[in-house]
A = this chain, B = another copy of it.
């Protein structure tokens, strides 16, 4: 495109209008864009109340001795998206009895011990309805001491435990596999302190991420992470799974942002590492063991985290590219040109957009129904509204001239920006609505990242739809394969191919979601035997009775 033409189109950008640079939209489309009033930028996950697809319901009382264990043994025989077919209930674990329940009531009170079938059923199943257990007890501690007493007791009694935050995980890490006692952290949701000079937040693990986000924003700061599930997920779960999300490209990993933790170990020991210091090289930095270990080494109870200053200017652009190579080049150009103000670089293929348009209410493709194969969402955040916007426009102008961008729009107000984000964040929600979704979360060198999507499409033909999207700026692909129902044939064509392919690229089979139950037995695709062995040794050191989140993260064979 000639520079003059591109400049003319950029100048046409008016207030409160979503405009295409390369062609004018029909008036009705403008209106439609402006009608989208979505005051909340992100949506909430609602934990699914539907019954698990596989495994029995959890009806039936407890205290039936062998019968409850037998019932539990029926579950998890078959889960799709990496089957956990061969896992048997570990007979070393005790079964819950009435004395146990009495003890828990003595420390937590009646309200802290949930046996109500419906409430326990919700906690037994993940939000996708894909992983389910048969726990008969949900405990709701109110403070660290109660967590400590629970774990100390369970460790002595050899009762297996699954810690549960917002239960928004995607790999079956936050629900029981058999009859593990569920320890829900939702009652521990207090903000302990906020240092508004240094931006250091200290809070309990059960705080919902969005609540923390709102709180620190009022103080002029932002949380260093943001993800689609923010309305339900807990900060404790975020830390325990080392959640990545949408701000990773700017603010990096929680290993960098988390300053301190309080953790309860399997034997009930309270490990106080809750410093609020930016730098602390006093001995081994133990907190990192608990960031991303998915509750299998300890239960995170308190967190201190560094929150970046909230910058006043945010701009979001929604762009299309003709090919994947252009997306890559655009990323490199954005890093160079937008540098310090780049805060998100997300990509989606057109299958994702089509799916989002079909299944998400109230969202709207800001670009004309199109022949474009790829879409990119770029967000910049800085301290100078007009300068930042000028910089973004200049960058986009150059990118169009260089042929990297085919078409695009810059959001003119918060509702348009919300719409752009809603498309990107809604893909996961839209996928689930198709019926069955096989989800993979891969780190792959950027230049090869889309190859697996195309190869998978060839392998599966018409039997399923293959979606590729994710955090391109972090080399993180979300590969979703959707079809009307789960079936073994499809799974066999996906796995182990997807893991073998990723392993061959020295990629990671779990970029930001964790291994959970889904991929515990797949760890060797990304980790050396020596590394897995050391992980197992550390697990045995910290949790010798293996009561914490069993069957997850590590293969049974090494424990």
Contact = CB atoms under 8 A, between A and B. Distances in A.
Contacts of A361: none
A511 B279 CA distance: 5
Interface string A249-285: 0001101110000000100011111011111111111
B382 A283 contact: no
A459 to B, nearest CB: 23
Contacts of A253: 256, 279
User: Which of A284, A443, A526, A531 is most buried by chain B, counting CB atoms within 10 A of its CB?
Assistant: A284
Nearest to A506: B275
A377 interface: no
B443 A242 contact: no
A512 interface: yes
Contact of A506 (B276, B328, B339, B341): B276
Contacts of A384: 391
A269 B336 contact: no
Contacts of A281: 241-242, 244, 292, 508, 510-515
A535 B309 contact: no
Contacts of A187: none
A277 B335 contact: no
A332 interface: yes
A62 B424 CA distance: 68
User: Which of A476, A534, A554 is most buried by chain B, counting CB atoms within 10 A of its CB?
Assistant: A534
Contact of A508 (B272, B275, B510): B275
User: Which of A253, A277, A509 is most buried by chain B, counting CB atoms within 10 A of its CB?
Assistant: A277
Contacts of A276: 445, 506
A317 interface: no
Contact of A515 (B282, B474, B511): B282
A32 to B, nearest CB: 35
A388 to B, nearest CB: 10
A198 interface: yes
Interface string A285-298: 11011011100010
Contacts of A542: 534
Contacts of A118: none
A263 to B, nearest CB: 10
Contacts of A197: 328, 332, 446-447
A279 to B, nearest CB: 4
B279 A474 contact: yes
A362 to B, nearest CB: 30
Given A279-B511, A443-B278, A541-B541, A528 B256 contact: no
User: Which of A255, A275, A282, A293 is most buried by chain B, counting CB atoms within 10 A of its CB?
Assistant: A282
A96 to B, nearest CB: 29
B279 A512 contact: yes
A311 interface: yes
A304 B273 CA distance: 28
Given A256-B253, A272-B530, A279 B443 contact: yes
A553 interface: yes
A475 interface: yes
A292 B270 CA distance: 23
22 contacts: A197-B446, A197-B447, A244-B279, A252-B257, A256-B257, A270-B530, A273-B531, A275-B506, A277-B443, A277-B507, A278-B476, A280-B511, A281-B511, A282-B508, A283-B523, A284-B293, A285-B288, A285-B291, A340-B340, A340-B341, A538-B538, A541-B541
Given A253-B279, A276-B506, A337-B383, 10 more contacts: A256-B257, A273-B528, A275-B526, A277-B508, A279-B476, A281-B510, A285-B291, A286-B535, A340-B383, A534-B542
Across the A-B interface, the 7 shortest Cβ-Cβ residue pairs: A256-B256, A288-B288, A277-B443, A280-B508, A279-B511, A282-B526, A339-B383
